[in-house]
């Protein structure tokens, strides 16, 4: 399994290489929501070259929904990134794969919609798009992941396996709207959490950026107990670094690379769980978390 | 071209009602692979019956097959799609690419791409057009300006939501319910977690504050002329779980508006809004048509909207020569009060109830059992599907 992690700056490339990371995810200032660091197109082009010098792969995060007014800019970005040799375009919106195909890209797009890749036949329907892979949805059980993998031996599968996982994405600016509705409140720069009345022990991180509002699962996802089981089925393992400090982020990478899970959990166990992911979820209430 | 008015229905009676009040087409969810499957009564037999009702009236019936399926949901997919094809429903509303492929392969039924797939641009829409999809239900997050651009860049037939509930998240992209209740939002289990009360906690010492994110409902009466100008093919009303009164009033209001627009007899928007007001008790706004909504598009309370009590009954059958009608009751109903009749053909007409008896012939001074059938004698002639409302002074 290859670890794919977001890059903070050029100085970090060699360090992450030495830690055993295979691919670096570049978040952009134009097509990435909830980013840790935002790179311009020119910076992405430059970083791709540096990443390749270290014999690593450069992935680009496209996790916004593409609106009509984004299409020409998307086209421009893809042409430039194609020329720069980007190894993968990680797409929340299928539009990225469609535009990439019109530009003649071959196996460049990893379709990562968050919720839609839920069954073993999805790849057959997306075959015409010549994808590099698909990221399985966050609400699957282990058995379902295995079934999908066995049915799709040709298509590389990936998972968002560690860190804060998104639960909700809105175009609306809900924090701005909150302060607009409560003008006497003083807006702070955050971070912010939501606490639901009936679940006082859980705090859901919420953040707003130019694209809207995102809400995340209350605890960070750790997948140590299933990582080895998933190894034969999953090619790319995405680690999120949103809201993680560098020490914790590097510790997580080390834990997965060296299978030193206990050392990580000795420090961070209270902030993590395996939560919803990997549990069977139906239409009826099965688990009261 | 005059757009289609597309109404929701949660049961066969509401299918009939929606057509009666002016819907051109109705969409329903079956017991299988629909986001309203848990509450649906529509097995294949009822879907067939609903389709017959539609076709007898020269109208259309669409069926949603719009869950985000897991492997276990796909076991009966082919059989189900083939059955819907044989029934001859007029469209299938789907969001999953595999479901769409199978529907195209196994049936000759037109496919509409569900808003659950968040169609927000013409490149994505054209991809589906080339695959054989005939219509796309645009994402509810689009502004009028964005819809205009899309219409300029694609030949796909477009449908838009014009009225009803809205997700605050992009449709299909939310798993709050999965996480908080174990119910899969994309398989019909949404617990409406976005409508719950939250506290906003900050990293500084500021005390937590109440936080709300629920959306107001969509109402676009004042934008219908703009949407007609854009060449939108279908205007869709949300609300498969809604009441008879709601469906009747919302369909009637938009029917009147569209018809008036096309006969150059448009009345002030307040006339159509007043019809909606008879059934609506939820806060409404114009959605994204004018831009990304500010706080005026949200509800900042958990106070429940009080159900409207003045819908007292629906006429089921009539005996015109005696000025009598069988009424199925909804709320307390007594001959002494003032009533009005709501029907497709009139604005409103006052009604006096002269006499009321139960099914066994007992004279009644009050009916307060919902769904009770009572025989009334009135001062005006009534028709099936007329709705009787109590006049609130």
Which chain B positions have a beta carbon within 8 Å of A191's beta carbon? Answer: 202-203
Per-residue pLDDT band for A43 (boundaries 50, 70, 90) equals very high
Supply φ then ψ for residue B232, to 5 degrees. Answer: -65, 130
Min mean pLDDT across A136-140, A163-167, B125-129 is at A136-140
How many contacts (CB atoms, under 8 Å) link A and B? 221
Which chain A positions have a beta carbon within 8 Å of B175's beta carbon? Answer: 114-115, 138-139, 167-168, 276
Query: Would the CB atoms of A125 and B153 count as touching at under 8 Å?
Result: no
pLDDT at B186 > cutoff 90: no
pLDDT at A214 > cutoff 90: yes
Chain B: nearest CA to A40, how far in angstroms?
A: 23
Q: Does A98 contact chain B (CB < 8 Å)?
A: yes
Nearest Cα residue to A161 out of A218, A66, A102, A234: A234
Which chain A positions have a beta carbon within 8 Å of B32's beta carbon? Answer: none
pLDDT at B12 > cutoff 80: yes
Nearest to B149 among A68, A121, A122 (CB): A68
Query: Would the CB atoms of A283 and B197 count as touching at under 8 Å?
Result: no
Chain A: nearest CA to B96, how far in angstroms?
A: 8
Nearest CA in chain A to B67: A116
Supply φ then ψ for residue B300, to 5 degrees. Answer: -110, 50
Structure tokens at A113: 């919609």
Structure tokens at B192: 């409406």
Chain B: nearest CA to A56, how far in angstroms?
A: 31
Look at residue B140 in the predicted model and tell me its pLDDT: 97
pLDDT at A287 > cutoff 50: no
Q: Using omega within 30 degrees of 0 as the cis cutoff, is the peptide bond preceding A191 cis?
A: yes
What value does the mean pLDDT take over residues B152-157? 98
Q: Where are the beta strands (DSSP E) in chain A?
A: 2-6, 23-27, 57-62, 88-91, 109-111, 133-135, 157-162, 166-170, 192-196, 199-209, 212-216, 220-221, 236-239, 272-273
Q: Each residue of B199-214: pLDDT tens digit? A: 999 988 788 999 999 9
Nearest to B182 among A69, A182, A288 (CB): A288
Per-residue pLDDT band for A275 (boundaries 50, 70, 90) equals low
Look at residue B139 in the predicted model and tell me its pLDDT: 97
Interface predicted TM-score (ipTM): 0.94
Q: Each residue of B135-150: pLDDT tens digit? A: 999 999 999 999 999 9
A114 vs A124: CA distance, rounded Å: 19
Residue whose tokens read 């809604």: B242
- Interface probe, candidates B77, B173, B197, chain A, greatest A C-beta count within 10 A: B173
Look at residue A288 in the predicted model and tell me its pLDDT: 34
pLDDT at A285 > cutoff 60: no
Query: Would the CB atoms of B150 and A68 count as touching at under 8 Å?
Result: yes
Q: Each residue of A79-109: pLDDT tens digit? A: 999 999 999 999 999 999 999 999 999 999 9
Binding-face residues of A in 223-262 toward B, CB within 8 A? none
Per-residue pLDDT band for B167 (boundaries 50, 70, 90) equals very high
pLDDT at A23 > cutoff 80: yes
SS3 of B307-372: CCCCEEEEEEEEEHHHCEEEEEECCCECCCCCEEEECCCCCCEEECEEEEECCCCCECCCECCCCC
Look at residue B307 in the predicted model and tell me its pLDDT: 59
A43 vs A50: CA distance, rounded Å: 11
Q: Each residue of B324-367: pLDDT tens digit? A: 999 999 988 888 888 999 999 877 789 999 999 999 999 999 98
Q: Each residue of B26-53: pLDDT tens digit? A: 999 998 887 776 667 899 999 999 999 9
Query: Would the CB atoms of A68 and B294 count as touching at under 8 Å?
Result: no
Nearest Cα residue to B119 out of A69, A95, A135, A126: A95
What value does the mean pLDDT take over residues B373-384? 94
Chain B: nearest CA to A284, how far in angstroms?
A: 5
Q: Which residue has the higher pLDDT, A273 or B6?
A: B6
Query: Would the CB atoms of A215 and B98 count as touching at under 8 Å?
Result: no
- Helices A12-19 and A246-258, packing angle to 10 deg: 30
Look at residue B309 in the predicted model and tell me its pLDDT: 64
Q: Where are the beta strands (DSSP E) in chain B?
A: 4-8, 25-29, 60-65, 91-94, 111-113, 135-137, 157-164, 198-202, 209-211, 217-219, 234-237, 284-285, 311-319, 324-329, 339-342, 349-351, 353-357, 373-378, 387-390
What value does the mean pLDDT take over residues A43-57? 98
Per-residue pLDDT band for A284 (boundaries 50, 70, 90) equals very low
Query: Would the CB atoms of A68 and B179 count as touching at under 8 Å?
Result: no
Per-residue pLDDT band for A276 (boundaries 50, 70, 90) equals low
Query: Would the CB atoms of A285 and B183 count as touching at under 8 Å?
Result: yes
pLDDT at A141 > cutoff 90: no
Nearest CA in chain B to A114: B173
Contact status, residue A168 vs residue A33, Cβ threshold 8 Å: no
Q: Which residue has the higher pLDDT, B39 or B167?
A: B167
Altogether, the residues listed in chain B come to a count of 393
Query: Would the CB atoms of B295 and A185 count as touching at under 8 Å?
Result: no
Percent of chain B with pLDDT over 70: 97
């Amino acid at each position: 399994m290859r670890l794919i992690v977001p890059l903070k700056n050029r100085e970090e490339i060699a360090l992450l290489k030495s830690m055993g990371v295979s691919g670096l995810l570049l978040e952009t200032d134009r097509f990435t929501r909830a980013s840790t660091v935002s790179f311009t197109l020119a910076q992405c082009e430059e970083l791709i070259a540096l990443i390749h010098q270290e014999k690593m792969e450069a992935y680009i995060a496209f996790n916004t929904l593409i609106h009509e007014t984004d299409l020409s800019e998307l086209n421009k970005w893809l042409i430039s990134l194609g020329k720069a040799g980007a190894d993968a375009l990680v797409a929340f919106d299928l539009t990225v794969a469609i535009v990439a195909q019109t530009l003649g890209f071959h196996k460049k797009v990893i379709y990562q919609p968050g919720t839609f890749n839920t069954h073993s036949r999805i790849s057959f329907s997306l075959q015409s798009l010549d994808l590099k892979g698909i990221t399985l949805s966050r609400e699957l059980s282990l058995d379902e992941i295995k079934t999908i993998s066995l049915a799709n031996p040709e298509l590389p599968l990936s998972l968002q396996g560690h860190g804060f996982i998104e639960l909700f994405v809105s175009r609306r600016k809900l924090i701005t709207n909150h302060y607009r509705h409560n003008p006497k409140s003083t807006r702070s720069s955050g971070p912010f959490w939501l606490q639901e009345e009936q679940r006082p022990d859980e705090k859901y991180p919420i953040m707003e950026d130019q694209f809207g509002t995102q809400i995340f699962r209350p605890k960070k996802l750790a997948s140590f107990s299933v990582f080895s089981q998933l190894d034969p089925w999953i090619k790319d393992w995405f680690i999120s670094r949103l809201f993680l400090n560098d020490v914790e982020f590097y510790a997580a990478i080390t834990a997965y690379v060296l299978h030193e899970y206990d050392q990580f959990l000795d420090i961070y166990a209270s902030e993590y769980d395996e939560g919803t992911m990997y549990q069977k979820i139906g239409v009826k209430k099965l688990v009261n978390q | 071209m005059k757009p289609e008015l597309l109404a929701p229905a949660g049961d066969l009676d509401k299918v009939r009602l929606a057509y009666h009040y002016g819907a051109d087409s109705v969409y329903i969810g079956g017991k299988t692979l629909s986001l309203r499957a848990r509450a649906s009564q529509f097995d294949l037999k009822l879907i067939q019956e609903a389709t017959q009702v539609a076709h007898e009236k020269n109208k259309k019936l669409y069926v949603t097959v719009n869950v985000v399926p897991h492997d276990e949901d796909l076991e009966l997919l082919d059989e189900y799609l083939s059955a819907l094809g044989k029934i001859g429903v007029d469209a299938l509303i789907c969001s999953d690419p595999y479901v769409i492929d199978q529907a195209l392969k196994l049936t000759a039924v037109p496919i509409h791409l569900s808003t659950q797939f968040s169609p927000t641009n013409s490149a994505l829409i054209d991809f589906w057009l080339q695959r054989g999809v005939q219509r796309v239900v645009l994402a509810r997050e689009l502004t009028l300006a964005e819809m205009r651009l899309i219409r300029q860049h694609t030949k796909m037939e477009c449908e838009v939501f014009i009225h009803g509930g809205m997700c605050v998240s992009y449709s299909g992209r939310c798993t709050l319910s999965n996480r908080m209740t174990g119910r899969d939002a994309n398989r019909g289990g949404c617990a409406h977690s976005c409508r719950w009360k939250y506290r906003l906690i900050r990293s500084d010492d500021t005390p937590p504050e109440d936080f709300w994110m629920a959306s107001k409902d969509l109402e676009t009466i004042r934008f219908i002329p703009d949407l007609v100008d854009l060449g939108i093919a279908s205007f869709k009303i949300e609300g498969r779980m809604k009441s008879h009164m709601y469906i009747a009033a919302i369909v009637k209001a938009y029917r009147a508006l569209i018809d008036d627009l096309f006969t150059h007899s448009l009345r002030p928007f307040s006339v159509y809004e007043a019809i909606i007001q008879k059934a609506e008790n939820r806060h409404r706004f114009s959605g994204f048509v004018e831009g990304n909504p500010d706080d005026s598009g949200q509800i900042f309370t958990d106070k429940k909207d009080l159900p409207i009590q003045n819908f007292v009954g629906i006429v089921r059958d009539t005996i015109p020569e005696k000025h009598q009608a069988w009424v199925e009751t909804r709320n307390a109903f007594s001959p002494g009060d003032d009533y009005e009749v709501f029907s497709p053909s009139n604005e409103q007409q006052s009604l006096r109830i002269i006499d009321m008896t139960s099914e066994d012939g007992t004279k009644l001074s009050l009916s307060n059992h919902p769904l009770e059938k009572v025989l009334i004698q009135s001062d005006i002639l009534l028709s099936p599907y007329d709705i009787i409302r109590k006049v609130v002074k």
